[in-house]
Each structure stands twice: as structure tokens, then as C-alpha cells.
Amino acid sequence: MQIITQENQKELKEHGNYAFPVNISIEKIESYEKGTFLWHWHPEIELTLILSGQIEYQIEDNTYLLSAGDGVFCNSNSLHSGYMYQGQGCTYLSITFHPRFLYGYENSILNTKYVNYITSNELWASLVLEKRISWQADVLDCMKKIYDMSSAQPSDFELQTHMLLLNIWHKLYQYFSTQPNEFAKPK
């Protein structure tokens, strides 16, 4: 198995659909040819939670060694790849969603003030999420809840997923809005 991309490395896989632009999947690094998924990007945001093992995860110019319990935020349009670490397997949860799922309408205040503020900043291609940091542990817990719901499929699965992703985004926004930024701060 391998990720299929266009010449510009944009992944061809659909991450959900127009009606529900979210993809939730369990992946195994050892399932990919040579234990690596190739460099690629997509307009969707990707949240990854390591369930077992370790993975060497690269996003743009950053390389992370992630272990069970760790997570990572990969921003929209960020080039990324993952590698088997020291020949060991790694199972991880991938939650990929289009930014419009958060904001609804183009140029809405939700889009311009809260979503584009993060997605348009090349300095914020990624962020490691660690359970020892309280707000990040909350994000990781929300990710686990999304996965658990995807298995159980309650009747309001899509609505609950939306609310949990908004909760995650709120925590990311609170963090990034306190970081140095080459762009103007939100008002």
C-alpha cells in the first residue's frame, strides 16, 4: 500500500465528502511499502494520535519521534511523511477534515478570524500534542472520543464529531493566538 499523489505531491485520496468532510481511520505504518508513507499534502487538516509503537513523523522541516499517547497537528497544505522507527510497527489514529467543516461560509468571521488565522500561517505547519500538557491532553481525549464514536456510530455521530472538532480547534486557536506571528494578531 502507498499514498497516491499528483505530480505536485497533493494526495488523491478523498478525506470524507462534501456532505461530511471528515475521514477517521486507523493506520499501521508497517502496512505501507518499506514502512513509510510518502511525502504528500492535502487541503485538509490532519490530527494524528499514536495508539501503539513509535513513528518518525516529518512535517515540512520538522521531524518528530512520536510514541504511544502522543499526537500531532498537521496544518492544511503542509507537506508530511511518516517512517517506521527502528523497524517497529506503529498503529495510529488519523482524523482528517476540511477546514470548511469548522467555518461553514467563505469569508465568514469564523473563517477569517479563527480558521485562516492558523491555516494560512506557514510558521504553524505542525504542533506535537503531549498528554503531560493539560490543554493538549484535552485535545487528545477529544480525538479518542471521535474515534470511539466512529466505531459506535450513534445517531448524532456527525454533530458530536463537529462539536469535538470545534472544541479541538478552539484549544488550538487559544494556543496559537499567544504565539509570535509574522501576521497581525486577531482582533
CA 57 to chain centre: 12
CB of 95 within 8 A of CB of 24?
A: yes
pLDDT of residue 103: 95
pLDDT of residue 21: 95
158 dihedral zone (left: phi>0; alpha: psi -120 to 50; beta): alpha
CB of 36 within 8 A of CB of 83?
A: yes
pLDDT of residue 182: 62
What whole-number distance in Å separates Cα of residue 148 and Cα of residue 174? 26
Beta-bridge partner residues of 4 = none
pLDDT of residue 184: 45
pLDDT averaged per 10 residues in sequence order, the chain, 187 residues: 80 86 95 89 96 96 96 97 94 96 94 95 94 97 96 95 98 93 51
Joined grid coordinates for residue 55: 513513528
What whole-number distance in Å separates Cα of residue 67 and Cα of residue 121? 27
Rounded to the nearest 5 degrees, what angle is found at the Cα of 141, between the Cα atoms of 124 and 178? Answer: 30
Residues 6 or more apart whose Cβ sits within 8 Å of residue 119: 45, 75, 76, 77, 99
Joined grid coordinates for residue 37: 508513507
pLDDT of residue 150: 93
Q: How many CA atoms lie within 13 A of 106 on its CB side?
A: 0
CB of 125 within 8 A of CB of 60?
A: yes
What whole-number distance in Å separates Cα of residue 70 and Cα of residue 103? 27
pLDDT of residue 153: 93
Joined grid coordinates for residue 155: 445517531
pTM for the full model? 0.92
pLDDT of residue 185: 44
